[in-house]
Amino acid sequence: MRYIVVYLFIIISNNIFGQNFKNQNFVRINNELTQITNGKDFFLIQLSEKKIFVIIKENKKKYTKLVYALESSGFFLNEVSFLKSDKKIFDYSNYEKGYIDSNSLFYNDKNANFEGSFVCLALISKDKNLITEINITTLVDILPYDKKIHVYLLKVIGALPPNSINK
3-class SS of residue 146: coil
Q: Which amino acid is at 56?
A: I
Per-residue pLDDT tens for 30-47? Answer: 877 888 888 999 999 998
Which range is most confident: 25-29, 30-34, 143-147?
Answer: 143-147
Decide if 64 is inside a domain.
Answer: yes
Kindly state whether residue 25 falls inside one of the protein's structural domains. yes
Whether 162 is in a domain gets the answer: no
Rounded Cα distance, 20 and 110, in Å: 25
Which domain, by its residues, includes 64? 2-156
Give the type of residue at 163.
Answer: N
Number of independent structural domains in the chain: 1
- Beta strand pairing call for 114-124 and 62-71: unpaired
In a domain, 48, yes or no: yes
- What is this structure's pTM? 0.79
130 CB neighbour count, 10 Å cutoff: 20
- What are the tens digits of pLDDT across the range 86-116? 878 999 999 999 999 999 999 998 999 999 8
Is 60 contained in some domain?
yes
Mean pLDDT of the chain: 82
- Reduced to 3 states (helix: H, G, I; strand: E, B; else coil), residue 131 is strand
